[in-house]
Structure 1
Amino acid sequence: MKLAVSGKGGVGKTTFSALLIRALSEQKKRVLAIDADPDANLAAAVGIEGAEGIVPISEMKDLVYERTEAKPGSIGGFFKMNPKVDDLPDALSATLDNIKLMRLGGVKKGGAGCICPESTLLKALITHIVLARDEVVIMDMEAGIEHLGRATARAVDRLIVVVEPGRRSIDTAMHIKQLAGEIGLDKISLVGNKIRGEKDRQFLEQHLPDFDFLGFLPFDDALIEADLSGMSPYEADSAAKSEIIKMIEKL
């Protein structure tokens, strides 16, 4: 099962991803977790010790140079477009129980885009993970779906967009759906987060009628406290865990 998770910044997609990863691990699934959002820290949310010390792959200059034969930060020139990546998930993952976690990091884009060694390595790695690995793969994406190409999009079993009751979150979900459609990814579900009651749930269902809702997570002070104390949300005493298990059954 290959899942990509997206949504507006601050909507709670990393919290949702961490809950999903830990619940799947507890069900004895082997999970490969990919932190593809430079502004998030999935490792800390999952509960991996020393999370802040994990170096993103895009910042491993020697590795990028070794695999692409071009200096990181360079644009143009010649470099390998199909670098070797199949050994990286096992070599560079942080681990916890049945979970392997990789942090991709960001690539500074020049102009409208970036054809550079770092982005080439990351895209090749994502393609390998989605097409060739046999674990459950959970990718915590940026607010868009920049890391996915057409080949990988067709192989992703589901794009899960996390939304909260609010106009900007709804607009982001619509934008992500449009981007996904352009690369042939039409298997999309929503997860409503920070739901304070039936009114919030109805608001999302009314404003996003064309989407399939996988489920809803409550607004819960226990999750906020877990985040503030540097604890995984899965360790919190929250109803969110039972809701996540229902979502896994649906998936």
Structure 2
Amino acid sequence: MKIAFVGKGGSGKTTLSSLFIRHLASQRVPVTAVDADINQHLGAALGLDEQAAAALPPMGGQLPLIKEYLRGSNPRITSTETMIKTTPPGTGSRLLRLDESNPVFEACARDIVLGTTDGADGTDGTVRLMATGPFTDADLGVACYHSKTGAVELCLNHLVDGRDAYVVVDMTAGSDSFASGMFTRFDMTFLVAEPTRKGVSVYRQYREYARDFDVRLRVVGNKVQGPEDVAFLRDQVGEDLLVTFGNSPWVRDLERGGHRPFGELEHENRTALKELHAAADATHAARDWERYTQQMVHFHLRNAASWANERTGVDLAAQVDPGFVLREDAAARTANR
């Protein structure tokens, strides 16, 4: 299952995505967390200190390796230099599975043990964490952040996932996600909104942009202080409002460097996380792999025509394998290593 958390900067998007990740891990659900925000804070929200968070290998820095592995023996991709963030898989491509080791995870991911560590049963679970990486001095003035999130999009395009494992992506703030087709790569998108006019403005943008692409969008109210805040959000977003989160002493303690067990999170907030989990899980039955693949191809052809053909000197439309549909059994028909 692929889940995105989006929202206005400062809405609490990273905090809530980290809580959802912790909830999944505490239920022993395999979860891969991806920090795709320009402000790289997900590692810290999951309990890493600054040094450990900074030591995460950036996916953007491993892009040549990612391309070489995913390309496999696909005859439609003549070289890794012609692969772009939207390049779709085809016959011969290597695909990623969450329950299998592969060079991409080995190079880009690190396992993190959450919570306390006093005994075999004293942890809150384990998370595989990946990060796009922050802007560097070499990027300033010459690159946009989407050049880094392209590594995430390429991996999502080649990911074969099922119901029993999750990828949770902390996305860039605001409507920047629409600068590529990555917003269509998720089973569920949770939009975090504060109970203010600015807080729901990103929701309106997202709803408008996503309308034609079958994006499943639910709103998570955050920093809610009472019934008036809930009523405001309900009036603004209607039935898209799924749950709300209020004040959390547990989160405040975490932000101050505390390490209390996840089981001590307030009952009402743990209940809200269970509702998020149930809503995400319910989307699996509605998956349409053909539609998913068609959207992938749609954005690839748009990118090819608008800039990538000229940049690579190749007609990238030729990379599309018309007989290929990404689906849960697709890996059996493609090269594995």
State the TM-score, normalized to the length of structure 1. Answer: 0.78
CA distance in 2, matches of 1:13, 1:106: 18
Instruction: Give how far 1:132 is off.
Output: 1.8
Could you say which residue in structure 2 is the equivalent of 1:136? 166
CA distance 1:114–1:137, shift in 2 (3 Å): closer
Could you say which residue in structure 2 is the equivalent of 1:172? 202
SS of aligned partner of 1:24: helix
CA distance 1:119–1:170, shift in 2 (3 Å): closer
8 Å Cα contact 1:19-1:233 kept in structure 2: no
Correspondences of 1:1-251 after superposition (within 5 Å): 1-48=1-48, 50-58=52-60, 60=61, 63-65=62-64, 79-81=81-83, 86=96, 87-96=103-112, 97-105=125-133, 118=148, 120-128=150-158, 131-134=159-162, 135-143=165-173, 144=175, 146=177, 149-150=180-181, 153-181=183-211, 184-209=213-238, 211-229=239-257, 231=259, 234=262, 237-239=265-267, 240-251=269-280
CA distance in 1, matches of 2:199, 2:45: 22
CA distance 1:38–1:233, shift in 2 (3 Å): farther
Which is helix-richer, 1 or 2?
Answer: 2
Instruction: Give how far 1:173 is off.
Output: 1.2
CA distance in 2, matches of 1:188, 1:158: 6
SS of aligned partner of 1:15: helix
SS of aligned partner of 1:14: helix
Structure 1 gaps of 5+ residues are 70-77
CA distance 1:109–1:232, shift in 2 (3 Å): farther
**CA RMSD in angstroms, aligned pairs only:** 3.2
After superposition, what is the alpha-carbon deviation per residue over 1:119-138, rounded to whole angstroms, capped at 9, x for unaligned? 5434312322xx42443111
Instruction: Give how far 1:80 is off.
Output: 3.0
8 Å Cα contact 1:170-1:207 kept in structure 2: yes
After superposition, what is the alpha-carbon deviation per residue over 1:74-111, rounded to whole angstroms, capped at 9, x for unaligned? xxxx9231587843134321213442110013565979
After superposition, what is the alpha-carbon deviation per residue over 1:223-246, rounded to whole angstroms, capped at 9, x for unaligned? 223212265894764342232123
| Paired residue total | 234
Name the amino acid aligned to 1:207: Q
8 Å Cα contact 1:189-1:214 kept in structure 2: yes
CA distance 1:238–1:51, shift in 2 (3 Å): farther
Which is strand-richer, 1 or 2?
Answer: 1
Identical residues among aligned pairs (%): 26
Name the amino acid aligned to 1:94: R
CA distance 1:178–1:126, shift in 2 (3 Å): same
Instruction: Give how far 1:195 is off.
Output: 0.9
8 Å Cα contact 2:95-2:160 kept in structure 1: no
CA distance 1:236–1:187, shift in 2 (3 Å): same
Stretch deviating more after TM superposition (6-15 or 213-222): 213-222
Name the amino acid aligned to 1:216: T
Name the amino acid aligned to 1:80: T
Instruction: Give how far 1:57 is off.
Output: 1.9
State the TM-score, normalized to the length of structure 2. Answer: 0.60
Structure 2 gaps of 5+ residues are 69-79, 88-93, 97-102, 113-124, 281-337
After superposition, what is the alpha-carbon deviation per residue over 1:2-49, rounded to whole angstroms, capped at 9, x for unaligned? 111100111111111111111111112111111111213111212246
Name the amino acid aligned to 2:25: S
